[in-house]
Structure 1
Amino acid sequence: MELKFRVAARIARPVHDVFEAVADPAKLSAYFTTGGAKGRLETGSVVTWDFHDFPGAFPVYVTEVVPDERIVLEWDAAEGEAPNVDGGELTPVDYRTTVTMLFKPLEDGRTLVEIAEEGWRPTPGGLKASYGNCQGWSQMLCALKMWIEHGINLREGMYK
């Protein structure tokens, strides 16, 4: 069994604005990386993201960026459940998963954002971790939509 998922949302802003809300660390920190993001998402860069629900900044390896179209990144996999879910615990493992973000302009001026992640080992811990990341990316899209369309930080106070 291959562990992977895809989530998507339509954001009522032009594709360039939506892309920049993800690629620019100051903007990403405003609504998603609750502990902050350091470094712009550019091909070949290694940036850091920090979250209040997963304290401690960790590296994000940016493998490809096509402005206003695609961001591909890798990060260290962990298996198990997030600490904020039923007291679970994530265990570091020796491989990475791949995240692909696609930004597609729609005829009505909105942007379709698709986020896919894959690469977990087919273990019970990998399955739990993939569900957790699917939840996280779904929250990210909701937070992005609220922040860029309405100026509301949906994640503020959610984990701290």
Structure 2
Amino acid sequence: MSQIEVTADMAPLSELSFSVSGRVSRPPAEVYEAVADPAQLSRYFTTGGAQGRLEPDADVSWDFADFPGRFPVVVIEAKAPERIVIEWAAAPGSNDTGTTRTVFEFAPIDDGARTLVTITESTWRATAGGAKSAFGNCEGWTGMLAALKAWIEHGINLRDGFYK
């Protein structure tokens, strides 16, 4: 039987966060475009369609045919081909800000031939509701990364028929 020792320097968990990463065999500019461009995003991720390019001050909304309901997406930052920061309304009670902030980072690897894509969310409450929202989004973004890779490398839409 093993024991876990709790020491004074182990503060209680006050917030939840996650990062998911994946490597895509395309240059960062191409991968960035596959996320920022609504026509491409609609082909592999937003199954009900995306409207508006991911750039500040754009009128952006996403819809998912498998999880109905178009919702607005606010672009906080877009720095091609390195980073996109977006926000949308959070699930009630899941965090203290009322919004979910998602950061996409596109880092060149293998002399720029491939891209390390990292998606990060944080500030979820360390509660059952916060954990449910954080874990659900972590699952969704992991699926998005797999779908992005399949689409941009092979032209395959992984979401087609996956949820229904």
TM-score w.r.t. length of structure 2? 0.85
Deviates most, 113-122 or 55-64: 113-122
Question: What corresponds to 2:99 in structure 1?
Answer: 96
1:151 maps to a residue whose letter is: G
Shift of 1:72: 0.3
Runs (5+) with no aligned partner, structure 2 = 1-13
Question: What corresponds to 1:113 in structure 2?
Answer: 117
Question: What corresponds to 1:24 in structure 2?
Answer: 37
1:12 maps to a residue whose letter is: S
Question: What corresponds to 2:82 in structure 1?
Answer: 69
Q: Distance in 2 between matches of 1:159 and 1:142?
A: 14
Post-superposition CA distance 1:130-156 (Å, at most 9, x none):
000000000000000000001110000
Deviates most, 121-130 or 109-118: 121-130
Shift of 1:100: 0.4
**Greater CA radius of gyration, 1 or 2?**
2
Runs (5+) with no aligned partner, structure 1 = 81-90
Confirm or deny that 1:153 pairs with 2:157.
Answer: yes
Post-superposition CA distance 1:8-31 (Å, at most 9, x none):
000000111100000000000000
Shift of 1:122: 2.9
Shift of 1:79: 5.1
8 Å contact kept, 1:79–1:126: no
Question: What corresponds to 1:86 in structure 2?
Answer: none
Question: What corresponds to 1:10 in structure 2?
Answer: 23
The alignment of Structure 1 onto Structure 2 pairs a total of residues equal to: 149
Q: Distance in 1 between matches of 2:97 and 2:66?
A: 22
Confirm or deny that 1:56 pairs with 2:69.
Answer: yes
Shift of 1:44: 2.9
Question: What corresponds to 2:3 in structure 1?
Answer: none
| Structure 1: 4+ residue segments shifted above 6 A | none
Question: 2:144 is paired with a residue of what secondary structure?
Answer: helix
Q: Structure 1 vs Structure 2: percent identity of aligned residues? A: 59
TM-score w.r.t. length of structure 1? 0.87
2:109 maps to a residue whose letter is: L
The structure carrying a bigger strand percent of its residues is: 1
Post-superposition CA distance 1:99-122 (Å, at most 9, x none):
000001112410000000122233
Confirm or deny that 1:127 pairs with 2:96.
Answer: no
